[in-house]
Amino acid sequence: MKRHPRTTVLAAGCCALLTLSACGGSGGKDTADTGKTKVQAQLAAATGDIDQLTWALPKGEPTTIDPVNAVDYSSALVASNLCDTLLRYNPDFTASPGLATAVQKDDRTVVLTVREGATFWDGTPVTAKDVAYSLNRGMAPTAVVGFVFANVSSITATGSSTVTVKFKQPDELFLKEMSTVAGLVVQESYTKKAGKTFGTASGGIMCSGPLKLDSWKPGSEIRLTRNDDYWDKKYRSHAAEVSLSFVTDSAALVQGLKSGEIDGAYEVPASVIPSLRSSSAGSVHFGQSPQSLEFAVATEDGPLKNTDLRRALMIAIDREALAEAVYHGAAEPNYTLLASSTWDPDGREIWKKASERYTTENAYDLDNARKLVKSSGYTGQKLTLSVQAGDDTFSRIAQLIQQQAEQIGVKIAINQAQPLEYSTMLYDAEARKGTDLLLSANFNGAPDPLEYLGFVFTPGGPYNWAGYEDQKVFDAVAEARQTFDTAERVKLLTDAQSTWEKAATGTSLVNTYEVSYLGKDLTGATTSFPYLFTPSLALIGRK
């Protein structure tokens, strides 16, 4: 799924997403340092409470906080601080018991045991019936998290505290997803009563998390208050109140952070990193992340039907310069369609060995790119690259791509699409008419490439924009999702990778870090990407 264009979710694996060679650090902070960029998973724990925390939501006001559709940055952050996941997504990308423990009884059965003593905000206990109801909501055709449940045949409360999930076929992804929004639990009675207004400003929500929804003023703010009866003392909220700001303008965000009017933010735009680094009011932090910048063919027709022209564009971009000049060190170059940050944690060495060839084959090479343009038969047609309007970072990247394409004789026009128009392009072929190329920010929730591949290399895949067809690749992806043995699963996918890379339907240009900012008097923040699926705001308090 795509968030800032795509939205996907998930869990698992110590330091799995680090594209760096070092991993570790004292106090479980998981810190790595390349000499250029210090990357860490979490700041030192808070030692004192605060009256109020003011936080800028990553992408402005959410459209919903209903967990089954809370798949963009702002929605997921709010929902994950209000509701509990069945499994806890830790800052080091491992998973541990949350609202439940989970056992894979066999390759088609998972049993969840609900924690005793957990209650909703109204004081009623969280039951197996609530858990089964919440998961079944995710199976609805309208639920964005529905891909998680694609292989599920039934979800049933089979005891006062147990839920049994049965599968039509084995699915190695499912349990990993239970530590993201797909595994968030809501109260059945409240949800049914709220009906279509559930998860909106008017309907609210009822959950069991460390923060409670106090008010939602559309266009203004969302206000949360501490749940003093929260079952997990480790995640008890240090802030008595949390005010969530909807600021989206980069200049206004910087001003608010530097003045102390806003205490912190996640998904800080790369373009403002230099300005915030000089701030005496707080500091910028980099964390491990499965996010990447994707450059992809957006159409089945036109000049880009030719593989040589596609490949020419993919190798005409200087990815190292992009990471340094545009992202100010908050990114690492990548040379395949599949971002290395999505690799299986216990299969990274296999992935790395299989992918080494692409660092050379897909390296920046203007001479070879010019030859490919010539052999493609390209006659100077202007190609349109669409990006989301208002994003300074993406605007700069688009201009860089335009300039480097010009050096190999390819003309590119940049289309600054309004947010709604742009988001529609991601899933509607009609909306993509007139667009040849798309630039998007992509993320996997879990370090498992099948999350992303399932949307591209499946028949009718929603992000198979170039109309790629290869049944052997499709079969390999389908078989891999049914394969629990990591080495066997990775072998299936890396063999298929040698085929799909030749098609050059798209590429991940860089793996980006999570960039956050926190005021100087505060600490406790999760600085790695799991912040998005955990009660991360509850951990922030006084130094």
| pLDDT tens-digit readout, 29-86 | 444 443 456 899 999 999 999 999 999 999 899 999 999 999 889 999 999 999 999 9
Query: What pLDDT shows up at residue 37?
Result: 64
Tokens read off for 204: 């609210």
| Residue 322 in domain | yes
Q: What secondary structure does DSSP assign to 85-110, as a single string?
A: ESEEE-TTS-EEESSEEEEEEETTEE
Q: Where is pLDDT greater, at 92 or 385?
A: 385
Length of the chain, please? 543
Supply the CATH number for residue 314's domain. 3.10.105.10
Domain range for 484 is 289-513
Query: What pLDDT shows up at residue 25?
Result: 30
Please tell me the total count of domains within the chain: 1
Query: What pLDDT shows up at residue 392?
Result: 81
Q: Is the pLDDT of residue 280 over 50?
A: yes
Read off the pLDDT band of 313 (50, 70, 90): very high
| Residue 112 in domain | no
Query: What pLDDT shows up at residue 36?
Result: 52
Query: What pLDDT shows up at residue 426?
Result: 84
Query: What pLDDT shows up at residue 34?
Result: 39
| Residue 535 in domain | no
| Residue 243 in domain | no
Strands 50-56 and 264-265: parallel
Q: List CB contacts of 491: < 8 A, sequence separation 6 or more.
A: 350
CA 303 to each of CA 185, 299, 310, 506, 519: distance values in angstroms, whole numbers, following the listed order: 48, 10, 9, 15, 50
Residue 146's nearest CA partner among 159, 157, 135, 131 is 135
Q: What secondary structure does DSSP assign to 419-443, as a single string?
A: HHHHHHHTT-TTTTTT--EEEEEEE
| Residue 223 in domain | no
Query: What pLDDT shows up at residue 4?
Result: 38
| Residue 541 in domain | no
Q: Is the pLDDT of residue 367 over 80?
A: yes
| Residue 19 in domain | no
Query: What pLDDT shows up at residue 345?
Result: 85
Q: What secondary structure does DSSP assign to 218-263, as a single string?
A: TTTEEEEEE-TT-S-GGG--SEEEEEEE----HHHHHHHHHHTSS-
Q: Is the pLDDT of residue 3 over 90?
A: no
Percent of the chain with pLDDT over 70: 93
CA 429 to each of CA 175, 425, 433: distance values in angstroms, whole numbers, following the listed order: 32, 7, 7
Tokens read off for 373: 């343009």
pLDDT in tens, 197-228: 999 999 999 999 999 999 999 999 999 999 99
pLDDT in tens, 401-454: 999 999 999 999 999 998 778 878 988 899 999 999 999 888 887 778 998 898
Read off the pLDDT band of 1 (50, 70, 90): very low
- Mean per-residue pLDDT over the chain, rounded: 91
Query: What pLDDT shows up at residue 502?
Result: 95
Query: What pLDDT shows up at residue 381?
Result: 96
| Residue 421 in domain | yes
Q: Is the pLDDT of residue 136 over 60?
A: yes
Evaluate whether 32 touches 18 at the Cβ level (below 8 Å): yes
